[in-house]
Amino acid sequence: MIIQSLETPTEQTKFIVPQGATCFAYEPSKELLVSGGPDCDLRLWDIHRPEKPTVTLVGHTASITFLFVQDAGEKIYSMDQKKILKVWDVRNRVLLQTFSQFSTVLAKALPACAYYNERDRELVVASNKLFVVACCPAIALDRTDGDSHTKPVSVLLYNSLYKLIVSCAFDSFIIVWDHKMNRKMTIISEAHTQTKNGVQIPVEITAACFDEKQQLLLTGARDGSLKIWNISARTCVRSFHMEEDSEVTAVFWQGNRILAMGWNHRVVEFAAFSENDDYPRGLQWRKLHSDDILCAAVSGSLPGVMATCSYTGELVLWMLETGQPYRRYDAANPRSRIPIQLHPEESVGQKTRKIAPRRSIFQLSADQFLQRRLSRIVMPSGLEQMRLLSIQALLFLPTRPMSASFGTLLGSLDNGIVQVWSHHPDGEFVGQFNAVHMAGDRVLAMTSDAANRFLFTGTALGYIKTWYIENRWIPDEETFRVNKPWLRILFPFLLHDVIPGRAKRSVRVQPKPWLVNSYQGHRSCITGLVYLDGSELLLSSSSDRTIRLWTLGGRYIGLLGSPVHWEPLSASLPPSDGYRFRVPPDLQREVSFTTVKVLNGGNDDHHGHRLKTTIPRVGTKEHSKHTQPMQTYGEALREPILNSGVLKLPSKEPILRDIKLERFLPRIPVHGHMVDFPVKPLVYDRKVESILERTKSLKFMEPPTEREE
């Protein structure tokens, strides 16, 4: 390849490409040159150093015939002779996506030509058919900040070792984020795949967790597959299955053991490393659930306890050391315990629980199967009536001791209620509270800070709520003192409202736990919450394919993966008061005034400006219609208000007319706009003399003299 200047033809820059180049693209803003050839490799060149390429991207299996650069050199699109299109990330030097639809639809024997329209950001491919494909369409930043994933986000984790965020989604992508700089550190595409009809398709990731050293990542998918990843090297260390076609809903890494559960109705234990695995197919724990396991949680205190909940509301507490259950509850009747038989064969003749009949997933259509499988994201109306008392999320409070007098386990129900239990063997149901303020809403995600002072909940309608729970479900609850002035400074939600919103009205009869913050963070349901204690940041993931950053008080910082960047954040300090906070563009138009107040940090000028058009001015006819008379002892004031015999009210001043000066003249005739006031002479009245004489006749006490003092 040769680059020649049009002004000085003698100046040439030669690039030596093995086997030649069939296509190339140039980005002048970054002086980036990309070439592709028959050797199936993409080469990135610096035009000032033509000796060798700076980066070589390998991934194609046929000669590259077409390529183009997008977003000022951030992405590269390349197509080979097999009509397979690949998308590359230039900054991270990794493959983002592979599109093989062209190879299955277009004729293999015929060559294909392509053209990229930069204005519409569309790729046109022509062979025996003509295709127009949108390539990362431009984002309307006045309506949205973009997306973090291409499909709903299912898992959101924080790695305390590397201080990075890890997210997994239904697009089978694992992305490692540097949330402080809004930068993608690692991208793993097609993490879980399966082959159907000879075509390899990605599988949705439904659960994930880290090992105790925070170095390895364990992921579980919809088809029951489990994989261990080295996220720093982007390699899969181990792959195994829990059960075929059985969705994994929760995974935990405890020491050298891996616990997986899901649609198989039971907990399966694996060895963390294959050389120590005596049970390659997993060791199945005792079956105590009559339906699919929806959620689970592990306590951080000793002894280790795991809680699992099924589709029908059965809550089972397990000892992690022995794998034996010791308590069993029902969400419909939490105050009573379900007995656990010591021997499974003893429960053969007992009466089983009646549950609603369910169809097999293999008897459902494609759309119905998708809705059943993604039950945390979309809930059909038919299944909604069958899940009124199932638990959607579980959370342990690790700082609280394992005592019968402490509430340590929280579970959210489908009706918006959060129940609290004590996971002590002698413990029981402690209490419950309503965690939603909208009809049909429910809590899908919960998390807490390290000290368990605050409880953060995310609902199906996209609301994020913060509860103060430090003084709740403890023995000395009544004597615990709360620093309320500090909380009012920290949370703008607690500022006084002339008209309280629905969130405040819903907790009037519920003084504890204290609701300290409530705002709408997403347009769709929230699937994950992560709180960072050092920087006091809250991250939320949603089925709207976004991951957003919030402060503890509810101020919006930004969206991971958005082209709108923000100021660098600190890992140990919260954002300062002068930080440039924003309001999400998709939440600027259709949110409540409570959300507007929280997003603006207590400054509701923006919302007040919108209300000015609806409030009539004082003194107008519209105001007089809406003004109610003042009430005094149940009756309206009557004229005259004061006794005219004692004090006469002054006459009202005449109403001045509006004066409009004629500004187009060189001189303004002010005398023509003067107003004449009616002047009345003072009238001498004899009644005034009689009042003065009677006043003088009264004997008032004279002031004391200096001698008397």
Q: Mean pLDDT across the stretch 563-586?
A: 90
**Tens-place pLDDT, residues 672-692:** 666 666 666 666 677 777 877
pTM for the model stands at 0.72
Q: Which residues contact 463 (CB under 8 A, 6 or more apart)?
A: 436, 437, 438, 441, 503, 518, 519, 520, 521, 526
Q: Closest Cα to residue 185, out of 97, 94, 58?
A: 94
378 vs 491 pLDDT, higher one? 491
CA dihedral 580, 585, 591, 592 (to 10 degrees): 20
Task: Enter the tokens of residue 500.
Answer: 């309280």
Whole-angstrom Cα distance, residue 405 to residue 472? 11
Max mean pLDDT range (94-108, 381-395, 506-520): 506-520
Which of the pair, 7 or 443, is modelled with greater confidence? 443
**Dihedral angle, C-alpha 149, 150, 155, 159, nearest 10 °:** -30
In this structure, how many other beta carbons lie within 10 angstroms of the beta carbon of residue 291? 17
**Interacting residues of 505 by C-beta distance below 8 A, sequence separation 6+:** 437
Nearest to 524 by CA among 571, 459, 478: 459
Q: For residue 636, what pLDDT is reported? A: 58
Whole-number percent of the chain with pLDDT over 70: 81
- pLDDT band for position 154 (50/70/90)? very high
Evaluate whether 271 touches 278 at the Cβ level (below 8 Å).
yes
Q: What is the mean pLDDT of the chain?
A: 83
**Weakest-pLDDT range from 1-10, 341-350, 460-469, 692-701:** 341-350
DSSP reduced 3-state for 49: strand
Give me the domains of the chain, ranges plus CATH numbers: 2-134 (2.130.10.10), 152-271 (2.130.10.10)
Q: What is the pLDDT of residues 62-119, one digit of tens each?
A: 999 999 999 888 899 999 999 899 999 888 888 888 888 788 788 888 889 999 998 8
pLDDT higher than threshold 60 for residue 555: yes
Digit-coded pLDDT (tens) for 456-471: 999 999 999 999 999 9
Is residue 663 over pLDDT 90?
no
Of 37-41, 642-646, 659-663, where does mean pLDDT reach its minimum?
642-646
8-state DSSP, 586: G
pLDDT, one tens digit per residue, over 186-243 is: 889 889 999 888 778 999 999 999 999 999 999 999 999 999 999 888 899 999 999 8
